[in-house]
């Protein structure tokens, strides 16, 4: 491992290049390097566990999917591409089902920026500051030192494209190192003979919608008449099943912001125990898919919007305090329930004058709190009244690494440790007083939960248009009529979302919390685009809305990979599918999404208003028939906060 200094040393322990994440202790670095994607052991190991069976049995294809609707019959289901007459190969299935090796790694061992025990190391001839375990590594690094990833890729292609030892024989990708090429080639599955996917592990780690980004928009559509059509569909369904199985786990994590009195070199745990008045705690939820080693990444990506990010920007230490893992189909719901329990614990805990520790997120999430049984809620209140924590403090805490590029003028003016603007009261002492307080608070809370109005959840779809293509048209119906009557090539961006029904019948109001960073609204900031809500369907529950959103996102992601054809191409704005919701869908519905996407059927139909949908569940229809939407009230322009 890199470095030997302790927590208080001026130079921390540092991971391999190009990761270079820093940690306060060798133990923390070791935990990180086990999962680090730049770990040489992970990069050079090919697990070859054979995949011998499908997870799910074959499900009969709905009759309305095979054969495809006939344009002559008036049911114009628009597809993304023409049906090919060439027998399909597994190239379109597996082109990207290979691990993309990161060749930016210097590859000569550990990079250590500390200034001790460096005897015998070789430095980059270009004096960039990097050092290596031998001269060969430094020389190889110098060939591409200072280049951007794109420039390095071009240089590698120019140098090695003519050498078969550096070129994959299956896909033509060029590699700087022959061992990287060999590892890649071993899992690059392009031919029909290699269709038997070598390992389930490959499917689990490669995203079925975003893999091999260069191939997006270039794949041929599948024709049901192809001899291996059913086999390809089964393989794709198996792929998404294994990938989603890996993605559904969720965790509740804890983080602490340590106050100005903290000094490097002080043990995190001891400081929290001895100085609770200098400690602020945060509880949050993250997906457990390997992306987040500590807190949810949004805190690091948008630090100005995050209380943890603002703590870092104030120069305070932010510490990861462990997490609780949930797995299975209800992992997301269970994680939200525990997060709400911990948040409400903080809400009650700091109402007493003896309390010293701060709790940073006290938005009570009562709808999620109600997912807990009453006995659990009452136990939480009792812990808060007694002053006993419901989450034991981890024995080992690690520093949360933020980007060091945050500048001083980004620092917010109000400190996390400014005086709290809440009224407090003495904590009860006797057992009788404690239980009276618990019963009173529990009764009040349960009354609040009973008053929660049942929320109506919607799933909605939005299309984004360039104003320049609309010829001055701005009314919802006129925009849609212009699209339906156009014969010009058109590319539209689509967003499928879900949420509590907005009072104005529009998109979820959470879009407007931070419009500069919102997926839809940030596209409208320049004033060059207009967003049109083309569909909104009330669902039976939150779970129902999640499932239909997942269906639309997945199908749109699949069809996005197909070659553009016809007059309309749909590009998804959001394909971060909630995999737990996807896994709850019935098998035959998953098959509809897979087959429709593979055949190039867009999520929006431009055909006759009388055509039948491929899937109908209550008021929800797929594809969304835009001609029928012309007469519906949910057709409306999305309000923009930008003037």
Crossing angle of helices 229-247 and 587-598, rounded to 10°: 120
Distance CA 551, CA 614 (A): 13
516 Cβ partners below 8 Å, 6+ apart? 522, 525
Residues 6+ apart with CB under 8 A from 614: 62, 64, 65, 77, 592, 596, 601, 622, 623
Q: For all residues of the chain together, what is the average pLDDT?
A: 77
Distance CA 558, CA 219 (A): 10
Q: Who has greater pLDDT, 355 or 44?
A: 355
| Residue 465, SS3 per DSSP | strand
Give residue 76's pLDDT. Answer: 43
Q: Is pLDDT of 588 > 50?
A: yes
- pLDDT-derived band at 450 (thresholds 50, 70, 90) equals confident
Rounded CA-CA distance 450/427 in Å is 27
Return the number of other C-beta atoms located less than 10 Å from residue 240's C-beta.
Answer: 23
Q: What pLDDT does residue 190 have? A: 40
Q: How many CA atoms lie within 13 A of 526 on its CB side?
A: 7
* Per-residue pLDDT, 518: 86
Place of tokens 């996390």: 416
- Kindly report which listed range (128-137, 349-358, 473-482) carries the lowest average pLDDT score: 128-137
pLDDT for the residue 578: 85
* Contact indicator for 487, 618 with CB cutoff of 8 Å: no
pLDDT at 39: 64
Q: Which residues pair with 464 in a beta bridge?
A: 493, 531
The confidence score (pLDDT) of residue 327 equals 83
Q: What is the average pLDDT across 161-169?
A: 78
Q: What is the pLDDT of residue 3?
A: 40
- The share of the chain scoring above pLDDT 90, in percent, equals 34
Per-domain boundaries in the chain: 248-451, 457-637
Q: Which band of pLDDT confidence, cut at 50, 70 and 90, is reported for residue 601?
A: very high
- Cα 113 vs. chain centroid, distance in angstroms? 32
Confidence label for 110 from pLDDT (cuts 50, 70 and 90)? very low
pLDDT reported for residue 381: 95
pLDDT confidence of residue 106: 40
Nearest to 611 by CA among 71, 224, 221: 71
Q: What is the 3-state secondary structure (H, E, C) of 300-342?
A: HHCHHHCHHHHHHHCCCEEEEEEEEEECCCCHHHHHHHHHHHH
Query: What are the C-alpha distances in Å from 52 to residues 47, 95, 111, 438, 455?
Result: 15, 21, 41, 56, 45
For residue range 372-404, what is the model confidence (pLDDT) as tens digits? 999 999 999 999 999 999 988 988 899 998 876
Give the Cα separation of 86 and 396 in Å (integer). 59
**Any idea what DSSP says for residue 407?**
-
Give pLDDT tens digits for 51-60. Answer: 222 222 333 3
The pair of structure tokens assigned to 383 is: 């812990």
Q: Would you give the distance in Å from CA 17 to the centre of its chain?
A: 25
- 113 vs 613: which has the higher pLDDT: 613
pLDDT band at 97 (very low <50, low <70, confident <90, very high): very low
Q: Which helix (H) or strand (E) holds 139?
A: helix 135-142
| Dist CA 303 CA 305 (whole Å) | 5
| 335 vs 109, more confident | 335
Contact 533, 636 (CB under 8 A): yes
For residue 43, what pLDDT band results from cuts at 50, 70 and 90?
very low
pLDDT in tens, 52-93: 222 223 333 344 454 444 444 444 445 555 444 333 333 333
DSSP state of 131: E
Cβ neighbors of 531 (< 8 A, separation 6 or more) are 462, 463, 464, 465, 495, 520, 523, 524, 637, 638, 640
Taking the C-alpha atoms of residue 148 and residue 471, their distance in angstroms, rounded to an integer, is 41
Highest mean pLDDT among 170-184, 345-359, 536-550: 536-550
Does residue 338 register a pLDDT over 80? yes
**pLDDT on residue 24:** 63
pLDDT the model gives residue 404: 63
Task: Read off the pLDDT of residues 630-639 as tens digits, 9 standing for 90 and up.
Answer: 999 899 999 9
Q: What is the pLDDT of residues 402-448, one digit of tens each?
A: 876 554 444 544 578 877 777 788 999 999 999 999 999 999 999 99
Nearest Cα to Cα of residue 198 among 207, 209, 188: 188
Query: Of residues 37 and 466, which shows the higher confidence score?
Result: 466
Question: pLDDT category, 195, cuts 50, 70, 90?
Answer: very low
- The answer to which of 116-120, 127-131, 515-519 has the lowest mean pLDDT is 116-120
Distance CA 140, CA 146 (A): 13
Among 1-5, 144-148, 229-233, 535-539, whose mean pLDDT is lowest?
A: 1-5
């Amino acid at each position: 491992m890199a470095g030997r200094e302790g927590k208080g040393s001026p130079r921390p322990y540092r991971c391999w290049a190009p990761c270079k994440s820093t940690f306060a202790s060798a133990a923390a670095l070791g935990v990180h390097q086990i999962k680090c994607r730049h770990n040489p052991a992970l990069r050079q190991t090919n697990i070859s566990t054979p995949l011998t069976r499908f997870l799910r049995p074959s499900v009969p294809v709905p009759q309305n999917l095979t054969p495809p609707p006939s344009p002559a019959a008036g049911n114009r289901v628009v597809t993304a591409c023409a049906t090919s007459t060439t027998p399909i190969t597994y190239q379109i299935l597996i082109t990207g089902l290979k691990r993309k090796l990161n060749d930016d790694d210097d590859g000569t061992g550990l990079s250590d920026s500390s200034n001790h025990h460096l005897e015998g190391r070789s430095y980059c001839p270009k004096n960039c500051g990097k050092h290596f375990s031998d001269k060969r590594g430094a020389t190889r690094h110098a060939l591409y030192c200072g280049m951007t990833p794109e420039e390095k890729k071009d240089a590698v292609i120019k140098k090695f494209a003519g050498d078969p030892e550096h070129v994959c024989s299956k896909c033509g990708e060029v590699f700087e190192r022959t061992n990287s090429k060999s590892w890649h080639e071993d899992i690059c599955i392009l031919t029909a003979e290699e269709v038997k996917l070598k390992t389930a592990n490959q499917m689990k780690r490669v995203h079925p919608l975003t893999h091999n980004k260069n191939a997006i928009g270039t794949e041929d559509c599948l024709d049901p008449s192809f001899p291996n059509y059913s086999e390809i569909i089964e393989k794709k369904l198996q792929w998404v099943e294994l990938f989603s199985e890996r993605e559904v786990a969720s965790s509740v994590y804890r983080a602490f912001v340590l106050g100005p009195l903290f000094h490097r070199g002080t043990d995190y745990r001891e400081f929290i125990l001895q100085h609770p008045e200098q400690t602020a705690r945060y509880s949050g939820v993250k997906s457990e898919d390997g992306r987040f080693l500590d807190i949810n990444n949004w805190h690091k990506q948008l630090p100005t919007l995050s209380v943890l990010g603002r703590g870092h920007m104030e120069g305070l230490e932010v510490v990861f305090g462990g997490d609780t893992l949930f797995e299975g189909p209800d992992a997301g719901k269970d994680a939200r329930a525990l997060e709400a329990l911990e948040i409400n614990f903080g809400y009650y805990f700091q109402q007493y004058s003896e309390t010293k520790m701060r709790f940073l997120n006290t938005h009570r999430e009562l709808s999620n709190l109600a997912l807990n049984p009453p006995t659990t809620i009452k136990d939480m209140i009792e812990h808060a009244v007694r002053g006993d924590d419901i989450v034991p403090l981890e024995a080992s805490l690690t520093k949360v690494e933020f980007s060091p590029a945050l500048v001083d003028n980004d620092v917010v003016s109000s400190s996390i440790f400014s005086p709290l603007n809440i009224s407090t009261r003495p904590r009860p002492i006797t057992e009788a007083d404690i239980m009276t307080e618990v019963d009173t608070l529990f009764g009040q809370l349960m009354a609040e939960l009973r008053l929660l109005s049942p929320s109506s959840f919607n799933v909605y779809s939005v299309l984004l248009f360039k104003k320049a293509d609309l010829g001055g048209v701005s009314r919802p119906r006129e925009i849609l009529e212009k699209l339906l009557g156009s014969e010009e090539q058109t590319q539209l961006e689509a967003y499928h979302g879900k949420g509590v029904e907005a009072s104005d019948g529009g998109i979820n109001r959470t879009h407007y919390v931070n419009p500069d960073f919102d997926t839809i609204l940030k596209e409208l900031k320049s004033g060059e685009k207009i967003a049109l809500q083309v569909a909104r369907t009330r669902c039976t529950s939150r779970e129902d809305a999640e499932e239909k959103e997942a269906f639309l996102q997945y199908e749109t992601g699949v069809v996005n990979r197909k070659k553009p054809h016809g007059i309309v191409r749909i590009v998804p704005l959001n394909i971060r599918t909630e995999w737990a919701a996807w896994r709850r869908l019935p098998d035959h519905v998953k098959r509809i999404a897979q087959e429709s996407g593979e055949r190039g059927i867009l999520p929006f139909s431009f055909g006759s208003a009388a055509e039948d949908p491929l899937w109908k569940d209550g008021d929800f229809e797929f594809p969304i028939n835009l001609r029928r939407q012309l007469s519906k009230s949910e057709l409306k322009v999305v309000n923009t906060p930008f003037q």
